[in-house]
Structure 1
């Protein structure tokens, strides 16, 4: 689509995304299903709350209510679970978006971010970000670039929970206090006060608060302030916003989001057996040749399949990420990406270089972490609502399948460099096909880690065996569903 057309139909873009988000959100079966699921899960959590024991159990259920509450977005149309649905492994729940753009739209439907949603399952196990001298590496934090450090709330998971509420690409609330205001007017206000404090909403709201809170955040400010509050009211709003995030972290730590109920867990407990392919894949995963467990640690209790460190594995640029053409003012005057197609995602290195909360010693490390992204847990990595449901992998969703990702880990540095202009996975030009006999250049080539990935020498069968093992990591396994070996 031409640029002039994009200006009319796709405000904010020089060229329209591969899917037109408003139509998808209004008509797509997956998008409609996740909205129904949000309503059901919120209602169920409200009912369970009254039957639950006071304390941690009710705090987690309060978090479940908050996670599924669409009214906490600027246009009252998006919840946390809109991008982190349980049936899709707490990641992107719309197959068409996973396949076409990887990045999800936000409450303002024509805004989309620059990465695929990271799973929130098991997120609470991430420690507060710190530099580990023994490992010579940053360890902890949430988000792909580790920017949810845990230094704000004391919990990396809670820090992460706060950010989407005001992100222009996500829920787009123009002030953290607006989130508090919406909860104060919700049906579960008394439940919140029971868990936290009767003073949680003791805020004098200025005239026009509802109107101000209905205008999308169009700022890159991490702490936008659309409301003029007295100091004492701002302090209370900040405290309650922190407790909203801590409630969400409690939900993420609960058995609803982190149940350890996969086939792998059943095998470890002696309640199931791997198939021959799964057992071979597990041996490769934990053995020296495939090197998977060097980063996706399979040791310890509980087994989390991540070391919470960041690496540049050499992932190619994904040209289908809408953010790359999101370089014009949208209907609210917001320009998401002034660099346009020249933008390079620097991951942890970009965060270290630009963050105000990072000390000088950490900033000095930024050049070494350009293009590095946090190792995600592999739990639920293949969880999907139906076999044909499309998922995407890596921080930018470049890889369309687990097999493609494992093949990249195996053959990066062996296959030829693809010709310029041949970028998308599966594209062919003459004798070259991306992912078959060539790979595009890494988005950030200077810092690619060659110690743990690339040139592994695995056969096609061994790649498939690793994938078979990875599929045993989906929660909700029923030992009676298969005979095993």
Structure 2
């Protein structure tokens, strides 16, 4: 499926209807949250959490004032992609400029603040931590990968699309939560001399011209202040993500561990497979001495996911109506993951993100993507809601991705449109570089054991209410 530059293609009537529904729901949540400003909490931690939530649901922080962070991260899907039709088809989401799509599916925000700062673990011989699928939000600058992740989308041309971080700060300065922000972070936060053309500059989608990379022209002092305030905005969003509202530890699994309930026979079988024959917990760790059960080891892996031919990104190889080309490689694009980040950085990375000592690791990390948490992996608003899985959204159900882990190297290869695809055969991996062949591909699970694994992973959904006796 190719993306038509007039906005048709993957933007089907069903998708447009879901976008309208989502925008209304984001407005409703923002409106409800704004009412809390009248009696804001005295506790600074709670103030930061409230600020973070208000910014997460604020569409004004995008170039066309139509896309909040929550557009890709809603509560009823575990703070990941909330549009079933997009998950079923493209897997990736449109930006504030609706003809621009990312190359990856949204990751979950839940439990993200618990990731360590990216570092090389000598014992594991591997990089551990960070945020984004390619780990580029290292946390080295702010001490929190989740905060650095929050700084990416606002100025990403294929996401929220603002041309300058100063625009994010300017837009925030016009919002009802400004007073609370100044209470938390200081009255100087928005004491910035804005140029007369700031509105027109910030209404222009990024990226900025190469000869004017900071198009909001500020004094050196004001530029520094804007950068500091932008960091504080990101830290507030990370504070909300760390709150009990987002990172809740309130699943059935948690209730079982607390001795409040027991697994069903099928769920217990799935947990046994998860920890045994399936080898799932070798990467999706369920805790250890001094560890919370976060169901990730914060490393990166290439499980051999096929390319997702429905990604509109493959067709973004010609200039759009603003002359922007998102993907110069077109259909030849191969996502290099962590290795691509280490080798050349990422166009949206901070210059300090890559430790020079990590660069030699680029060849052995190419094609690898961050191991996601399995918490809330099945959280959805209704049983018929489709969720997408893997870095490019190729997989469309938990059963399908479990079947892939089990049979990748057993079933024959086939074309992406083969009627047997996903059940009786698999397309070739997007890349075989550094592909995990020791823990994935031929697990020897029965169909019933696959179902048991799915049943266990469904116990990781937060918001579980134990039955009353």
Which TM-score band (shorter chain)?
A: over 0.9
The one of 418, 423, 426 aligned to 2:416: 423
Structure 2 residue 11 is matched with structure 1 residue 20: yes
- 8 Å contact kept, 1:168–1:219: no
Aligned residues: 459
The one of 364, 375, 398 aligned to 1:402: 398
Q: Distance in 2 between matches of 1:229 and 1:219?
A: 15
TM-score by length of 2: 0.94
Question: How far did residue 297 of structure 1 move?
Answer: 0.2
The one of 54, 58, 77 aligned to 2:47: 58
The aligned counterpart of 2:242 is 253
The one of 326, 330, 336 aligned to 2:326: 336
Structure 2 residue 442 is matched with structure 1 residue 455: yes
- 8 Å contact kept, 1:46–1:61: no
Q: Distance in 1 between matches of 2:322 and 2:379?
A: 37
Structure 2 residue 33 is matched with structure 1 residue 40: no
Question: How far did residue 224 of structure 1 move?
Answer: 4.6
The one of 359, 377, 383 aligned to 2:379: 383
Q: What are structure 2's unaligned runs of at least 5 residues? A: 346-350
- 8 Å contact kept, 1:382–1:474: yes
Question: How far did residue 53 of structure 1 move?
Answer: 3.0
Q: Distance in 2 between matches of 1:229 and 1:447?
A: 45
Q: Relative to structure 1, is the Cα distance of residues 99 and 280 closer, same or farther in structure 2, using a 3 angstrom cutoff?
A: same
The one of 83, 89, 93 aligned to 2:82: 93
Greater Cα shift, 443-452 or 97-106: 443-452
TM-score by length of 1: 0.91
Classify the secondary structure of the residue corresponding to 1:479.
coil
Q: Relative to structure 1, is the Cα distance of residues 377 and 219 closer, same or farther in structure 2, using a 3 angstrom cutoff?
A: farther
Q: Distance in 1 between matches of 2:147 and 2:359?
A: 23
Residues 183-213 of structure 1: CA distance to partner in whole angstroms, max 9, x if unpaired?
1111111011011101000100011101110
Greater Cα shift, 105-114 or 355-364: 355-364
Greater Cα shift, 449-458 or 48-57: 48-57
Structure 2 residue 389 is matched with structure 1 residue 393: yes
Q: Distance in 2 between matches of 1:261 and 1:438?
A: 37
- 8 Å contact kept, 1:218–1:332: no
The aligned counterpart of 1:13 is none
The aligned counterpart of 1:311 is 301
Give runs of aligned pairs for residues 125-204 of structure 1, distance below 5 A: 125-204=114-193
Q: Relative to structure 1, is the Cα distance of residues 2 and 345 closer, same or farther in structure 2, using a 3 angstrom cutoff?
A: closer
Q: What are structure 1's unaligned runs of at least 5 residues? A: 11-15
- 8 Å contact kept, 2:302–2:435: yes
- 8 Å contact kept, 1:352–1:365: yes
Q: Distance in 2 between matches of 1:297 and 1:469?
A: 14
- 8 Å contact kept, 2:88–2:388: yes
- 8 Å contact kept, 1:218–1:333: no
Greater Cα shift, 95-104 or 37-46: 37-46
Q: Distance in 1 between matches of 2:397 and 2:208?
A: 35
Q: Relative to structure 1, is the Cα distance of residues 2 and 378 closer, same or farther in structure 2, using a 3 angstrom cutoff?
A: closer
Q: Distance in 2 between matches of 1:260 and 1:32?
A: 31
Structure 2 residue 310 is matched with structure 1 residue 320: yes
Question: How far did residue 451 of structure 1 move?
Answer: 1.8
